[in-house]
Amino acid sequence: MHRIYFDHNATTPVHPAVADAMSVSLKAEFGNPSSVHHFGQQAKAAVDRARSAVAELIGADPSEVVFTSGGTESDNFAIRGAAEACHRAGRRHLVASAIEHEAVLHTLKALAKLGSTTTTLLTVDETGIVSPDDLRAALRDDTALVSVMHANNEIGTIQPIADLATIAHEAGALFHVDAVQSAGKIPIDVKALGVDLLSISAHKFYGPKGVGALWIKRGLRMLPTSTGGKQERNRRAGTENLTGIVGMGVAAEIARGRMAVDSGRIDGLRDRLESGILQAVPRTTLNGARTPRVSNTTNISFDRVEAESLLIALDLEGIAVSTGSACSSGTLEPSHVLKAMGLPTHRTQNSIRFSLGSASTEADVDRTVAVLPGLVEKLRNLSRAPVRV
């Protein structure tokens, strides 16, 4: 069976050139980048090359890039590191949007539980956008940090980061942006965004899993994420994940080179899929703004269809998608993103995310549009059928 992968926001396949570079590095560059001898310096040069490539992807200086174990660690580092650094200055209030990834939301919750900070979560409008006025109203004299994501992982909408960062700075607060879902998909320039901290993750742009980076604006005081050796300029102790970092560097280089061409093509495919589904399947609704949005994502609610059942039915047809809602303890948890947008339950529990990628084709799109009406009708008929005892 030809399998169709429409779940690139969960993770992307590793680009063959990334896999090749990692394989070569794994075999030939085994030194510890902290060692002074030839082997160590060879490994250090590989890390430096990757750091430059990652910095170029986001318009940064290489010295500002700290390698981490991925988006989750970068988000944790940004929030915990900045919160702790600001604590001494009496700033203990944190602000984030209610549609952040759990890596941000659960970190804020954990800090609040310790009693060290308080948090304000900003709701979004029904298109999924944070209002600059809402941020202005939430800021306080003791706000340490504002964290708002660049592109949302479920609906793909892009936030007005530069405007929000300006407002946060006017109140003396730092600004962190989770750019895990935008890096490699749209151009990023940390200076133009005017932010202080920015998280990215390699496996979202055809790099390996378990490696990411946090960009820390030069001069910003941060408490280190881990203590020990002097790696990453004393900001993250521990011997570097050399192979992963090499892979991330190559993935960043490829993403920068192909972004414009790829996103134009994927945008066309996504629109074809989206309009195809909305036309072919009755009682479907698009969730989130059409623009500004990353090119690969569409999120659609199917009225009177349980999202998990549709996901499984599609998987049996060889089509991989995802749902925002999650089944926990036998009940269907609605998507926190769609809930924050104020959508009714029948849309928050019935949504499917389709996220396309560089290998997606017109044939994949057309096959998905062709099979969906039948699957949806079957599931709707089943839910209407009387219960047999």
- The answer to the question of residue 71 lying near ligand PLP (CB under 6 A) is yes
- By the rule CB under 6 A, 184 interacts with ligand PLP: no
Is residue 177 close enough to count as binding ligand PLP by CB under 6 A? no
3-state SS, residue 267: helix
Residue (211 or 222) nearer to ligand PLP, CB:
211
E strand map for the chain:
4-5, 65-68, 93-97, 118-122, 143-147, 174-178, 197-201, 212-216, 284-286, 297-302, 319-320, 322-323, 326-328, 331-333, 351-355
Q: Confirm or reject binding of residue 295 to ligand PLP (CB under 6 A).
A: no
Pairing state between β 143-147 and 93-97: parallel
Cα–Cα distance between 344 and 361 in angstroms, integer?
33
The answer to whether residue 201 forms part of the interface with ligand PLP (CB under 6 A) is yes
**Residue number, 305 or 340, with CB nearest to ligand PLP:** 340
- What is the distance between the alpha carbons of residues 21 and 249, in angstroms, rounded to a whole number? 10
Question: Which amino acid is located at 67 in the chain?
Answer: F
Q: Are 283 and 376 in contact (CB under 8 A)?
A: no
| Choice from 95, 99, 103, 138 touching ligand PLP (CB under 6 A) | 103
Tally of helices (H runs) and strands (E runs) in the chain? 13, 15
Nearest distance from C-beta of residue 103 to ligand PLP, angstroms: 4
Total binding residues toward ligand PLP, as defined by CB under 6 A: 14
Q: Near ligand PLP by CB under 6 A, which window of 64-72, 86-94, 254-262, 317-325?
A: 64-72
**Are 260 and 27 within 8 A, CB to CB?**
no
Residue 107 interacts with ligand PLP (CB under 6 A): yes or no: no
Q: Per CB under 6 A, does 208 bind ligand PLP? A: no
Is residue 324 a contact point for ligand PLP (CB under 6 A)? no
Nearest to 269 by CA among 362, 185, 370: 362
Q: Does the annotation mark 327 as catalytic? A: yes
Out of 31, 70, 156, 249, the only residue in the binding site for ligand PLP (CB under 6 A) is 70
* Site string (82-101) toward ligand PLP, x via CB under 6 A: -------------------x
Among 180, 245, 252, 379, binds ligand PLP (CB under 6 A): 180
Q: Which is nearer to ligand PLP, 177 or 281 (CB)?
A: 177
Catalytic residue among 137, 316, 327, 370: 327
> Which has the closest alpha carbon to 162: 152, 145, 177?
177
Residues within the interface to ligand PLP (CB under 6 A): 70-72, 75, 101, 103, 149, 153, 178, 180-181, 201, 203, 212
Residues known to be catalytic: 327
